[in-house]
Amino acid sequence: MGATRPCTTRSQTRENVASYTAVQLAATIGITRAFGYRITPAALLAGAVINATTHAAIDRGALLLWLARKTGKTGYIEHCQAVRMDDDGTLTREVNGPGTAWIELDAALHRVIGIGAAAVTTWLTTRPGARR
């Protein structure tokens, strides 16, 4: 079976980010309109760009490892690994698949950036002079 990380190549990362961004944009537009709000196109685009570019950087791994080193979390990543059994019974250790610290830190970073992107989108939509 090998590594379970979904974004190991650039094309896999692009596909993941494109589908994630499309669903996120559709949900954002649908939910805000259902509640009677209109997001300016510039604000919507800004939030989507923040999420898409950071999502790609995080999923490729270098950014996450850099942040882990800067915050002293590499020990957590190295310690909390998963052991998987292949079809032939061979055990392999994974540092970045489901059940690992990598996935927990990845998800947390995505949430923090998502909140920041939402804040930027909201600020751009509600600031004085924004088209409504």
**How many other CB atoms are found less than 10 A from the CB of residue 94?**
19
12 has pLDDT over 90: no
Please report which confidence band the pLDDT of residue 111 belongs to, taking 50, 70 and 90 as the band edges.
very high
CB-based contact 114:50 (threshold 8 Å): no
Separation in Å, CA 116 to CA 34, 48, 72, 96, 107? 22, 11, 23, 25, 14
Please report which confidence band the pLDDT of residue 130 belongs to, taking 50, 70 and 90 as the band edges.
low
Would you state the pLDDT for residue 63? 81
What does the pLDDT look like over 45-83, one tens digit per residue? 999 999 999 988 888 787 888 888 898 888 888 888 889
Q: How many whole angstroms from its chain centre is CA 24?
A: 11
